Amino acid sequence: MKAIQVGLLGIGTVGSGTFNVLKRNQEEIKRRAGRGIEITMVADLDVARAQAAVGEGVKVVNDARAVIANPEIDIVIELIGGYGIARQLVMEAIEAGKHVVTANKALLAVHGTEIFAAAHRKGVMVAFEAAVAGGIPIIKALREGLTANSIEWIAGIINGTTNFILSEMRDKGLAFDVVLKEAQRLGYAEADPTFDIEGVDAAHKATIMSAIAFGIPVQFDKAYVEGITKLEAQDIRYAEQLGYRIKLLGITKRTPHGVELRVHPSLVPTKRLIANVEGAMNAVVVQADAVGTTLYYGKGAGSEPTASAVIADLVDITRLQTADAAHRVPHLAFQPDAMSDLPVLPMSEVVTSYYLRLRVADEAGVLAKVTGLLANAGINIDAVLQREADEVGGEGSTQTDLIILTHDTREGTMNEALAELQGLPSVLRPIVRIRKEELA
Ligand code: HSE
């Protein structure tokens, strides 16, 4: 079956990420979606730069309307941003009967009601997973995964730039301006960093989550918005001394009188997981009546993390055409005829690192024997800890514990080494082995 044809409006950081990930993972994406998905046309004011980004096989124009008017294009991705021309183009794409995928939180937070109504009328989808918290599938979680719940509140670190600035100010004692420049250099900040530091970007995202959580229209104009520009380093320090971190939170809460919708710096107890979300990472806590608290964490910005969300929307839309209503999302994510026979590895082929504890005779040469045996097996030692014999077995003890951390090793290799170690006369008890996962 012919691939779904996608037109891309604006190929900057997220656009090129979307193009690259779609290309790199095209086979796997096709097996999930049931049809190939290809960006076949791109509109960008800088045609030469855009053409260089996508190569010769893709048509590049400087007129976005030429993409919308192309009858071959099934889905239009809007990555221009802002409320101006992006709004007109999204409305025109909808009117032309195209499905739209957008990462434009500003547009949806302000004009979402009008846009969704038009999409409803025309029977097309407007998908926007990338608009909130970048690569974190929070829209899907709120709209589908948590649909049984009455949502009580949501609190999120939903602007990476400000979280990066606050983390760096706290850790390195750097001034606000210095850290802002670094955030811009790293590509976290919006084109106009005022939107980040004044809390506007976070408020756009909180507004969208609020609408989804409570079934209310998007109402950015009702949000209370306070950024981090007036925060002083001494308050970050004092808060720390009292057991708190200062985070810019986007909060929306159901109360008996209405919905709270606010963005402002907040003290959060250091022991909360969300207080430990550092740098440009995002996290969203959702409190709901049935499931309780859930936490979503990941990269809220950047080329490929945001592309991940854009492409998820493309797959969702493609499945409208490849599956009947009962099987829109395949049971095991891939289309039934596109399952793979990739084998599940036996445990002996697994690669991980290890914590070993050996009870050994406290005599000369034991450590050398143990480490020598591991070296012969090609097992790289990360750290060794030898306890005092007295501490382990009491006064005058002739036994001690040897604790070894290893680097990554094949489990089969480790099993053979352990059998040999266990056979050493100076190893006095069954060796304790615990696998170690750095999860870095
Ligand atoms: N400027 C945003 C942030 C990026 O810093 O999180 C995507 O919304």
| Cβ–ligand 1 contact at 300 (below 6 Å) | yes
**Residue 190, pLDDT score:** 67
pLDDT of residue 217: 94
Residue 217 structural domain: 138-299
Report, as residue numbers or ranges, the catalytic residues: 205
Please tell me the total number of residues recorded for the chain in this structure: 440
343 located within any domain: no
Pair 57, 189 in one domain: no
Task: Assess whether 278 and 290 both reside in one domain.
Answer: yes
User: What pTM does this model have?
Assistant: 0.90
Please work out whether the CB of residue 160 comes within 6 Å of at least one atom of ligand 1: yes
What amino acid is encoded at 304 in this protein? E
Residue whose CA lies nearest to ligand 1 atom number 7: 301
Count the domains in the chain.
3
Mean pLDDT score of the chain, rounded to an integer?
94
Residues 260 and 310 placed together within one structural domain of the fold: no
Same-domain check for residues 208 and 248? yes
Give 162 Cα–ligand 1 centroid separation in angstroms. 9
Range 186-210 average pLDDT: 89
Mean pLDDT score, 341-370:
94
Ligand 1 center–CA 12 separation, angstroms: 14
> What is the pLDDT averaged over residues 47-54?
96
The H or E element spanning position 147 is none
Q: Quick one: 147 and 131 in the same domain? A: no
Q: Are residues 227 and 282 in the same domain?
A: yes
Tell me the pLDDT tens digit for each residue of 132-187: 999 999 999 999 999 999 999 999 999 999 999 999 999 988 888 888 888 888 87
Q: Is the CB of 112 under 6 A from ligand 1?
A: no
Q: Which atom of ligand 1 is nearest to the CA of 306?
A: 7
Query: pLDDT tens, 313-324?
Result: 999 999 998 888
Query: Are 150 and 282 in a shared domain?
Result: yes
159 Cβ below 6 A of ligand 1: yes
Q: Is 101 part of any domain?
A: yes
Region 86-93: mean pLDDT is: 98
Distance CA 310, CA 324 (A): 23
Provide the token pair at 3: 């691939």
In a domain, 378, yes or no: yes
Query: Distance between CA 253 and CA 80 in Å, rounded?
Result: 31
Specify if 344 maps to a domain.
Answer: no
Cα separation, 250 vs 104, whole angstroms: 17
**Domain edge (last residue) among 314, 338, 362:** 338
CB atoms within 10 A of CB 242: 10
pLDDT at 314: 98
The answer as to whether 317 is a domain residue is yes
Task: Note whether 71 and 93 are same-domain residues.
Answer: yes
Say yes or no: 169 and 238 in one domain.
yes
Let me know whether 49 and 62 are in one domain: yes
| 242 shares its domain with 334 | no
Whether residues 89 and 147 fall in one domain: no
* Domain-embedded: residue 194: yes
CA atoms within 13 A on the CB side of 169: 27
> Separation of 190 CA from ligand 1 center, angstroms?
6
How far CA 217 is from CA of 95, 115, 250, in Å, comes to 21, 12, 17
Domain containing 418 — which CATH number?
Answer: 3.30.70.260
